[in-house]
Structure 1
Amino acid sequence: MRQVNHNREVSGIKRLSRDNWWLVLALVIMVLLFISSSQTYKQQTSVPFLERWLANEPFKQLLSGISFKYVGQEVSIASSGYFKFIEFFIRKGAHFGSYFLIGLGGYMGYKNRIKQTGLTMIVVWLAATGYAALDEFHQSLTGGRTPLFQDVLLDATGALTAIILAWLFTKFWQHRSKKAA
């Protein structure tokens, strides 16, 4: 009987340790976002890199047909040029992706601490969304940056997507494990 309890304790420690690594992932992303928000657009633009590595402007003809409005401004190659157009998608992808990782790390890190799955999902999503709002506020204090509510929505969507996918994957994995046993 004592051996069983010891194995459960060791298993619990391993799970807690794994959970902590997920939280470390989320924290590292949050620190990187804070640093990024402290930089002006000029300090972090990827246009010079894109000009160097995409000098032949691949898929320009295909991408030239894409045009839409974001925050009341036209996003197209015609309005901003090829490299700024590509950078727009990189920057918005970084918004979605970084908050995806925060949502994933938060959910995986807290799912064993907060025993109610729905509550875990809501708390992690609200925390990620709140951090996104604070990050946009931080950008407002940085010269040459424009805080956007639409970016908070994009960030919140990235976090929510990760939380839902992690929950689905966890459910699938648990169901598969039960079938194998």
Structure 2
Amino acid sequence: MRSFGFLLHSLLLAAVLIGLFISSSQPYADQDMRGTISKVVDERNWEERLQDITLQYSGREISIEEKGTAGFLEFFLRKGVHFATFAFLAYCWYRVLRYRLAFSTALPWSAFLSLLVAVLDEWHQTFTPDRVGVVQDVLLDLSGSLTMLACICLANLWEKARAKS
């Protein structure tokens, strides 16, 4: 049963890594969701709610005025997917490494390997038409990974406390 779990987690890890490679190989035009967002979202309603929000990301202004409503929503959707994907990647690294390593060793290695993948993913994007690699995305990916690993730490602490009582 242990080997089945290792195989399952290894396959999940491989699937995430392959998915990231495929995704960063696609030009932005192939991933553009603005048309779909425009069809399923009441843009006027969202524009009224979000029109005063402006932020800087990678030296560019992100606002409804600058990107349009669909582009603004797409920005947050894409960044949310970045965060969630790297949280799941860190979980997969942790689960695979945990079969061979102690908790205290698997956790930092999971963080390091997730960061390495984030850096390589952004670098890979620099070879893709209409894509760039940005440090801010690496930091966003790292925050997703660290959030997941913090949750794993908290779950581990909770389990230890529960076992004592």
Q: TM-score, normalised by structure 1?
A: 0.84
**SS class of match (1:65):** coil
Q: Where do 1:28-177 residues align within 5 Å?
A: 28-115=15-102, 117-177=103-163
Q: Is the 8 A contact 2:86 2:145 kept in 1?
A: yes
Indicate the structure (1 or 2) with the bigger Cα radius of gyration: 1
Shift of 1:52: 1.0
Shift of 1:100: 0.4
Instruction: Give unpaired runs (5+ residues) of structure 1.
Output: 1-13
Distance 1:88 1:114 in 2: 38
Distance 2:163 2:54 in 1: 47
**SS class of match (2:131):** coil
Q: Is the 8 A contact 2:43 2:70 kept in 1?
A: no
- Letter aligned with residue 125 of structure 2: Q
Query: How many aligned residue pairs are there?
Result: 165
CA deviation string 1:51-73 (max 9, x = no partner): 11114444321211111111111
Question: RMSD across aligned C-alpha pairs, in angstroms?
Answer: 1.7
CA pair 109-178 structure 1, distance change in 2 beyond 3 A: farther
Q: TM-score, normalised by structure 2?
A: 0.91
CA pair 90-157 structure 1, distance change in 2 beyond 3 A: same
**SS class of match (2:96):** helix
**SS class of match (1:69):** strand
Shift of 1:16: 4.2
Instruction: Give unpaired runs (5+ residues) of structure 2.
Output: none
- Letter aligned with residue 159 of structure 1: S
